[in-house]
Amino acid sequence: MEWLHSRVARHRKPALVLGKGLLLVGSILILTAVFVRAGLSNVNAERAQAKQPPLHTAAEAYPQYPTWLVPEGPVGFSIAAVLVLVGTGLTSLAEKAGRR
């Protein structure tokens, strides 16, 4: 862990940018998944009124959009959460190194 502290202390600005970028990407993935899940619920409510079977994935509901990047299961949400946590940690380390 000491190697990470020394590397961040030497290259504070790139570590800060990388940390904020990872935090932003993870947050965007999680928010996108929330909005896609809400849209899928809306589509399934309309399909239930029409007595059609429900759709289970975003790719079925929105075939015209590239939905392969949207986290829909536990693995996808875990990856997005790890991105947020790593970004937060790296940003925190870079800010502490800047105060020294």
Mean pLDDT of all residues in the chain?
91
Quick one: pLDDT at residue 2? Answer: 83
Q: Tens digits of per-residue pLDDT, 57-90?
A: 999 998 998 888 889 889 999 999 999 999 999 9
Q: Tens digits of per-residue pLDDT, 34-47?
A: 999 999 999 999 99
Quick one: pLDDT at residue 6? Answer: 85
Question: What are the residue ranges spanned by the domains of the chain?
Answer: 2-99
92 near 15, Cβ under 8 Å? no
Quick one: pLDDT at residue 89? Answer: 93
Q: What's the one-letter identity of residue 4?
A: L
